Amino acid sequence: MKLFTFKAPSSSGNGVHVGALDATGSTAVSFTRASRGDARFASMLALVRAGSAILDEAQSILDSHPADAAYDLAEVTLLAPLPDPPRFRDCSLFIEHLAPAFLGMARTLAAAAEDPDAEYERLVATGDFGRPAVFAERVIYYNADHLSVSGPGDEIVAPPDTHHVDYELEIAAVVGTTGRNLTAADAGAAIFGYTIFNDWSCRDLQTEVMASRLGPARGKDFDGANTVGPWIVTADELGDPYQLKMSARVNGETWSDGSSASIEHTFEDAVAYLSRGRTIHAGELLGSGTVLSGSPIEIGKRLKDGDEVELEVEGIGVLRNRLRLSR
């Protein structure tokens, strides 16, 4: 199923619903309305926490829903499918992106120098902009702000202290099981579904604060910085998440092309690692990190005010947003 959170048309009360696409792909079926007050369908987080068995009930509703629970997809407003995850961690599961991204950050830092090329060479020679070996050895992650989740169609307004914002083309997994010490074999069953993730990044701020060696911090921390959507595709429907074409377009022009087949660590690896001696919770979001070529800083391009960014992942869909930079 493709599950999403949406606002119904104003003529229908404009309430927030949890639902899914019907077989035609053009109708949004509201589980919230069809279930007549069942708390398990009150929000996406409640649905995920209800466990995998609820998907059978959801499918039954989808197959035979009351007429007042159906809406034309073109008339509803899609929101972030999981707007209130209890935790959000972005993992470096793709690692090929890191080397060109770090070099791109060195180039950005050197741009203000009197001789940018010489300063770039000096920065690279320090060794601070290489990819540390630890990224290949284990799942590296940082805690993203679970209170700054945005959704499809939202305008992304950059904070006033940045003038260099990038998209990052990622997949995010939704954890469906609360557990501890899950093995890699168990971890597959613990993944509820997948969505697209745009990890908006203020490169000028990120380059400055990463000199602290404490992570991206303010460089990836602003209202709406974590965009997910347009929906969650359940694991059983998506199939193999490691054979998906991934692309990004800016104003209709393709800037990024990649494949999830290039992943270094799987989501199962991440679940097993994150639950080792610790509790992982149903409803958590786990970002994949950026696929190779999946960000403008790698390819010498730069977003400008008003650009429309579309991230597309095969089998999931298209996540579309417009960027606003301070003038």
pLDDT tens track for 193-240: 999 999 999 998 888 887 777 778 888 999 999 999 999 999 999 999
Q: Could you read off the pLDDT of 94-114 as tens digits, one per residue?
A: 999 888 888 888 888 788 788
CA–CA distance, 190 with 176 (Å, rounded to integer): 5
Treating both helix axes as pointing N-terminal to C-terminal, what angle do 116-125 and 98-110 enclose, rounded to 10 degrees? 130
Least Cα distance to 153 among 265, 8, 320, 37 occurs for 320
Domain with CATH 3.90.850.10 in the chain: 88-324
Per-residue pLDDT, 123: 83
Confidence at 153, pLDDT banded by 50, 70, 90? very high
Q: What is the pLDDT of residue 228?
A: 98
Q: Which CA distances in Å does 217 have to 56, 94, 138, 319?
A: 41, 20, 21, 24
The predicted model scores a pTM of 0.93
Pull the structure tokens for residue 286.
């786990």
CATH class held by domain 88-324: alpha beta
